Amino acid sequence: MRCRRTVDVVREWLIGLGIAAAVMVVSWLVLILLARRLPEGTAKELARFLPACVTTVKRLRSNPAVPRRAKIAVGIAGLWVLSPIDLIPEFLPVIGPLDDVVVVALAFRYAARQIPRDVLLDAWPGDRRIIERLIGPAQRADAQER
């Protein structure tokens, strides 16, 4: 009798986990479909920002011109973006992805000081103006020599 009750409890938990996973997958699919329908402009660029960050992290991690410290920094930023654990929950409108954006911005700014600017700009798959704004203006040659 007790064994049957344990099996029923386990079955209920598995059904609950299955429903939760299905809801999560459906939610992501709906968000992807809605993001594709966004008009051109700021909102669409923001929707493309985090996937572009993940792509940039992959490209920089495989580039031999990037030093180990910069690879570690951008790797941590990439894991932060992909992690389901956030300081600010993603479901909050506007401010949800803010912690991801800040961590990525800090990591890319650090990497921009460690590697040639062109390497970072070439790794970015999105609009070049976004990454240039993120990492800051190019330093002049005479300022770098000091």
Tens digits of per-residue pLDDT, 3-12?
778 888 889 9
User: By the 8 A CB rule, do 45 and 129 touch?
Assistant: no
Tens digits of per-residue pLDDT, 36-74?
665 666 566 666 777 888 899 899 999 998 999 999 998
User: By the 8 A CB rule, do 120 and 66 touch?
Assistant: no
Tens digits of per-residue pLDDT, 77-130?
888 877 777 777 777 666 677 777 788 888 888 988 999 889 999 999 988 888
User: By the 8 A CB rule, do 120 and 77 touch?
Assistant: no
The full set of domain ranges for the chain reads 1-37, 39-145
What pLDDT is attached to residue 142?
41
